[in-house]
Chain A
Amino acid sequence: NAGVTQTPKFQVLKTGQSMTLQCAQDMNHEYMSWYRQDPGMGLRLIHYSVGAGITDQGEVPNGYNVSRSTTEDFPLRLLSAAPSQTSVYFCASSTSPSGRADTQYFGPGTRLTVL
């Protein structure tokens, strides 16, 4: 049982490049979400999913896309990276199928720098 895994751990991009941050969980959790953490701003919700095939926007969705083709995986795509997207990204999952979040299990994070 690996919990929530994220890859890569570190990434440097140039402005305009695209990339996908991977997130996977092996706990059969229905609810998954992506957050970005910035100094003084806490964690802000980017997108979330209440089950395979269902996604919705959080607080700061612009510039990011998500999909949920399987219960296990919830990738986050940056379409055209901007310096404002420099941040630490956390993926989380929980058992709550309705999104009424039970205890969230967090991944180790991806530190992204956009030059």
Chain B
Amino acid sequence: AQSVSQHNHHVILSEAASLELGCNYSYGGTVNLFWYVQYPGQHLQLLLKYFSGDPLVKGIKGFEAEFIKSKFSFNLRKPSVQWSDTAEYFCAVATDKLIFGTGTRLQVFP
């Protein structure tokens, strides 16, 4: 069965700091990978996705993620965070269904 792990449960940063959120999955076959964001009081929105091709994918709002197949990882990065990036971030893996990680709560202070 597929599973997704997000090891960072709560991350606190100052504005302009760099961000990297870890995501590892377990599944032996081909997967599609996603990062979703949930701003306070809102529902989930897609940040970026990887289906095939270039393993470095760029998403909205300056986010990017790198798929490393040998490490079963799909880490999310942003060079310089803003206060408005405060939200919860979910990694997800799709095979025949979409499974989410437990989420990482990001707080960015001015």
Contact = CB atoms under 8 A, between A and B. Distances in A.
A100 B46 contact: no
A100 B95 contact: yes
A45 B92 CA distance: 11
Interface string A8-51: 00000000000000000000000001010000111111001000
A98 B43 contact: no
A51 to B, nearest CB: 13
Contact of A48 (B45, B49, B97, B103): B97
Interface residues of B, number: 21
Interface residues of A, number: 25
Contacts of B100: 35, 42-45
A100 B43 contact: no
Interface stretch (A70-78, A79-87, A103-111): A103-111
A109 B45 CA distance: 13
Nearest to B90: A42
Nearest to A42: B102
Given A41-B102, A100-B32, A106 B94 contact: no
Contacts of B34: 103-104
Contacts of A56: 97
Interface of B: 6, 9, 32, 34, 36, 43-46, 49, 90, 94-103
Interface of A: 33, 35, 40-45, 48, 56, 58-59, 90, 92, 98-104, 106-109
